[in-house]
Structure 1
Amino acid sequence: METLPRETIVDVLEDRLQKDVLSGRHPAGSYLPPERELADGYGVTRTTLKHAFGRLVQAGLLETRHGVGTRVRDFLRLGGADLLPMLVRHDAGWLEEIFEVRRSIGSLIAERAAARATRTQRVALRTLLEAVRAGADPDAVQLADVEVHRALARATGNRVYVLLTNTLFNAYLPMRSHLAHPFQDAREAFARLEPVVAAVEQGDGDAARAAAEAYLTATEQLMLAGLGAR
């Protein structure tokens, strides 16, 4: 058995500060109260506060200037896609926006993969697709499905597509148990994805794009329906 992680006071404070920033209690561009005042307000030491600040600075939510103070960063103007996993944990409403990008980027990736995939990559795609059908449980099926999409991104020959794909998966895979509805039946999951791989194998960009659009739309609807049913 794997030992469950234990939350420290720094973890708890980081989560509280994160929520206060993302909820607008501390608006973008505003300075946080002085450290002593903030530490007293949260009932923690200044050392604990500094550790939590350090994590949020690294995450891109805060910026600290010596002798000036700690300011809330305007993450919607200055932040990057690396913030998405944190934002999804704070507000599941981000999922619908992520899925919109997933549809547009995913269909474009399939089209590019059809035009650029090497013979070796096409063979690898078929092998990875078979792993979807062989998945022993919904989690295994979903993770196998993910590897097909990572391979499609690699087949474009464009590393930015690879990183974008990774970022989108990083945003929602931590909560994948709530999004497992499309992967309950391994054969059905295979059948939904197979047309995408087949079109890439045939080098048909238009067909690959259309198949990916259909696949991504269908799985999105199933995921959101399953999430709403909880």
Structure 2
Amino acid sequence: MEALPRETIVDVLETRLREDILAGRHPAGSYLPPERRLADGYGVTRTTLKHAFGRLVQAGLLETRHGVGTRVRDYARLGGADLLPMLVRHSPDWMDEIFEVRRSVGALIAERAAARATEEQRAELRALLAAVLVAEGGDAVQLADIEVHRALARATGNRVYVLLTNTLFNAYLPVRAALVGPFNSPDAAHARLEPVVEAVTAGDRAGAGRAAEAYLTATERIMLEGLA
């Protein structure tokens, strides 16, 4: 068992500010009230407020200009995919759009991997698939499954696909426990993923794309049932 993290007042304030920004209570492009007034409104010190601001600046939600103030960044226009985990925490509705990208990118990765994988990468994929079958517990099976997809991305020879894969998996983190459905049975998880690995290791581009799309569609349906 893992110890539960203890929230500090900065953690609480960061969450509250983030939710207020994402909910539109502080609209994009607007300046936040003066620090003293904002700190009084939230019932915290200005030092605590500055620490929370620093985190939200790093997250891409705020920008601070000395002598001007702190403005809410237009994250929808200027933000990157690294914001996805935070957006999912705010609203699970984002998962539908993440799954859409997961399907299209996942099928493309499988096709590219089938065309470009080296013999060493094919062997790695077979070994990682076997690890799915012997993993114990839904969480361990889910993690083993993820490693197969990371290896598929590496087998494309394109590092951008690797980063996209990492980004999509990171987006799952806030709701990961609700997405364990497809992985509760190692046998079933292995059976769904095996056709993808077989097509990729056989160098069958079209077959790999079809198998990946079938896998992603099936697991998406089970995951969405878990979220519901």
What TM-score do you get using the length of structure 2 for normalisation? Answer: 0.98
**1:66-106 residue CA offsets vs partner (Å, 9 max, x unmatched):** 00000000001000000001111111111111010000000
Name 1:164's counterpart in structure 2: 164
- Which letter does structure 2 place at the counterpart of 1:70? T
- Which letter does structure 2 place at the counterpart of 1:165? T
- Which letter does structure 1 place at the counterpart of 2:66? H
User: Aligned runs of 1:65-104 on 2, under 5 Å?
Assistant: 65-104=65-104
- Extract unaligned runs of 5+ from structure 2: none
- Extract unaligned runs of 5+ from structure 1: none
What TM-score do you get using the length of structure 1 for normalisation? Answer: 0.98
**1:180-201 residue CA offsets vs partner (Å, 9 max, x unmatched):** 1111111011000000000001
- Which letter does structure 1 place at the counterpart of 2:125? L
- Which letter does structure 2 place at the counterpart of 1:136? E
Name 2:50's counterpart in structure 1: 50
Tell me the distance in 1 between the aligned counterparts of 2:145 and 2:2: 25
Name 1:26's counterpart in structure 2: 26
Distance apart, 1:4 and its partner CA: 2.4
Sequence identity of aligned pairs in percent?
77
Contact 2:88 / 2:174 at 8 angstroms: preserved in 1? no
User: Aligned runs of 1:145-164 on 2, under 5 Å?
Assistant: 145-164=145-164
Which aligned runs of 4 or more in structure 1 are off by greater than 6 angstroms?
A: none
Change (3 A) 1:128 1:174: farther
Tell me the distance in 1 between the aligned counterparts of 2:57 and 2:194: 43
CA RMSD of aligned residues (A): 0.8
Change (3 A) 1:227 1:147: same
Residue-pair matches, total: 228
Name 1:209's counterpart in structure 2: 209
Distance apart, 1:134 and its partner CA: 0.7
Tell me the distance in 2 between the aligned counterparts of 1:13 and 1:148: 38
Matched, 1:177 2:177: yes
- Which letter does structure 2 place at the counterpart of 1:121? Q
**1:155-206 residue CA offsets vs partner (Å, 9 max, x unmatched):** 0000000000000001103422111111111101100000000000110100
